[in-house]
Amino acid sequence: MSLAAPTFDHWCALDGAAALRHAEEAARHVGGTLTEWESDPARGRVPHRAVIERDGQGFALIPGGEVRVGFDLAAWSPSPGQLASYREESLAGGFGFDADLSTHLAGVLTPRRTVTLPTVLMAVEAEPLPDVPREVPGLLAARGLRPPTPDEWEHACGAGAGTLFRWGDTYPADCSPYGGGPGPHRLPNAFGLRIGHDVYEAEMTGDPARVHGGDGGEAVCGGYGTFLGWLPLATAHHNPGIAEFLHSPDGEDLYEDFSVRPVIELG
């Protein structure tokens, strides 16, 4: 089996021994070491988790193939708390949001769709941007890396989940979407990534128009309300305005509020 061969469905169907062999081969191929391995059917839809260390940086194995990404708004209904937050906090704040929650969400969530992606290694932790964000692709390429595509980012974050957030459709009521503290967003995701965990940590992708994983704190700092404060952690969330700002001359002064999650190709 080639390193790029196992699709997401195939990876999830492999027995532990076969998956381990593939992870070890991927580590050898990139000159790294398999430092974290877990294989247990009780983990749910993704039974295997492999993290490979190369040059002191951890990379999770992200199987690709034909996968589903984005969010199906038509099949989703907001909880009473989410709807109340939008009506009583977001709309009442006079921010100019659409009166219909679904219409607002359609502008900031990518639609549910099927895409075909390569199997890659993706950094467990995003890393800070350099002083000039537009230099990121070249700087990563010099290290044998690249930024993820938006579809790769969404797949890596959601790991096959069709829910609004990678852990479910609702957010916890007893913690914050930023800073320290407990919560499902603080835990590694199914692939072992620390991703979608802090709304202040927006991540650029290979597409200048797409930023994921956070909004630089816009919703929280702006007082948009509890639901919209958590929404930037939604797997399919993207903020066109934040992406445009990042790549503008003004945005380059705030590069410290953004990050990038490097990818190693296996094909």
Query: What CATH number is associated with residue 52?
Result: 3.90.1580
Quote the longest CA-to-CA distance of the chain.
57
Q: Let me know if residue 237 belongs to a domain.
A: yes
Q: Let me know if residue 2 belongs to a domain.
A: no
Write down the pTM of the prediction: 0.95
Q: Let me know if residue 204 belongs to a domain.
A: yes
- DSSP assignment of the chain: --TT--BHHHHHHS-HHHHHHHHHHHHHHTT-EEEEEEE-GGG-S--EEEEEEETTEEEEEE-BEEEEESB-GGG----HHHHHHIIIIIITTT----SSHHHHHHTTBPBPEEEEE--EEEESS-EE--SSGGGHHHHHHTTT-BPPPHHHHHHHHHTT--SSBTTBSS--SSS-SSSSS-SGGGS--TTS---S--TT-EEE-SSTT-EES--TTHHHHHT--HHHHHGGGSTTB--HHHHHHHTSTTGGGGGGGEEE--EEE--
Residue 97, pLDDT score: 96
Instruction: Give residue 202's domain range.
Output: 8-265
Q: Let me know if residue 69 belongs to a domain.
A: yes
Q: Let me know if residue 1 belongs to a domain.
A: no
Q: Let me know if residue 239 belongs to a domain.
A: yes
Q: Let me know if residue 163 belongs to a domain.
A: yes
Residue 244, pLDDT score: 77
Number of folded domains that form the chain: 1
Residue 6, pLDDT score: 79
Per-residue pLDDT of the chain (267 residues; tens, 9 = 90+): 566 667 999 999 999 999 999 999 999 999 999 999 999 999 999 999 999 999 999 999 999 999 999 999 999 999 999 999 999 999 999 999 999 999 999 999 999 999 999 999 999 999 998 777 788 899 999 999 999 999 999 999 999 999 999 999 999 988 999 988 789 999 999 999 999 999 999 999 999 889 999 998 999 999 999 999 999 999 999 988 887 777 666 655 566 778 999 999 997
